[in-house]
């Protein structure tokens, strides 16, 4: 029976895997997330997901599959990381209001011998958000630890008009892509192993 390691400290990624019933251990990968990164959002998330997965893969035997992931929000070619403070969150939310942006998630799956790295992109359309709504949302504290200053799975979801692509990608882990890679490349059918 394969064991699974999620190379992430993200509560949202843990929730996604727990919701489908996959048994795993979450271990935060200690990697450099700043130095030597590529230029494009797709390349950045693939590289960071790979760094996370490979940082842990040497610590386990071949019966272990390590899953690394990283997510960024991008608008008009600009990557929106987690806000530095409330003013930064306010600026981000105003820029997202009424427009479309992309959420990129890199995914890297490895068993130490085989490594598959890819990414998913989801387009998110936000409705117009008033200044009062932005201030009330910031007062909840929720946007301060989220890339792009919102969480679609929490209160920030009230601002999302529609998405084009994988919802779970916006949360932080492209679930369908992960399950397809596990089945196609590692011979693991998630539906056969979940409880």
The residues annotated as belonging to the active site are 70
Residue 118 CA to its chain's centroid (Å): 13
The strand pair at 64-75 and 3-6 is best described as: parallel
- First vs last Cα of the chain: how many Å apart? 13
Residue written as tokens 């699974």? 4
Contact 125, 163 (CB under 8 A): yes
Q: Using alpha carbons, select from 123, 104, 116, 103 the residue that is nearest to residue 45.
A: 104
**CA gap 121, 103 in Å, rounded:** 6
**Total residue length of the chain:** 195
Q: 134 in helix, strand or coil? A: helix
Which of 20, 100, 110, 117 has its CA nearest to residue 67?
A: 110
DSSP label of 145 = G
């Amino acid at each position: 029976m394969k064991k699974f390691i999620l190379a992430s400290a993200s509560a949202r990624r843990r929730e996604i895997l727990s919701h489908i019933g996959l048994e795993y251990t979450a271990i935060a990968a200690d990697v450099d997330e700043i130095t030597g990164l590529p230029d494009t959002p797709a390349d950045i998330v693939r590289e960071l997901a790979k760094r996370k997965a490979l940082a842990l893969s040497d610590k386990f035997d071949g019966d272990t599959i390590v899953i690394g992931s990283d997510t960024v929000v991008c608008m008009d070619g600009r990557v929106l990381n987690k806000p530095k403070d409330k003013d930064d969150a306010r600026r981000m939310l105003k820029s997202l209001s009424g427009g479309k942006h992309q959420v990129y998630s890199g995914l890297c799956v490895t068993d130490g011998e085989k490594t598959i790295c890819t990414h998913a992109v989801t387009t998110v359309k936000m409705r117009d958000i008033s200044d009062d709504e932005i201030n009330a949302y910031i007062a909840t504290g929720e946007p301060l630890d989220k890339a792009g200053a919102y969480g679609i799975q929490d209160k920030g979801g009230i601002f999302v008009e529609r998405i084009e692509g994988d919802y779970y990608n916006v949360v932080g882990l492209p679930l369908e892509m992960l399950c397809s890679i596990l089945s196609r490349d590692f011979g693991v059918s998630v539906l056969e192993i979940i409880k």
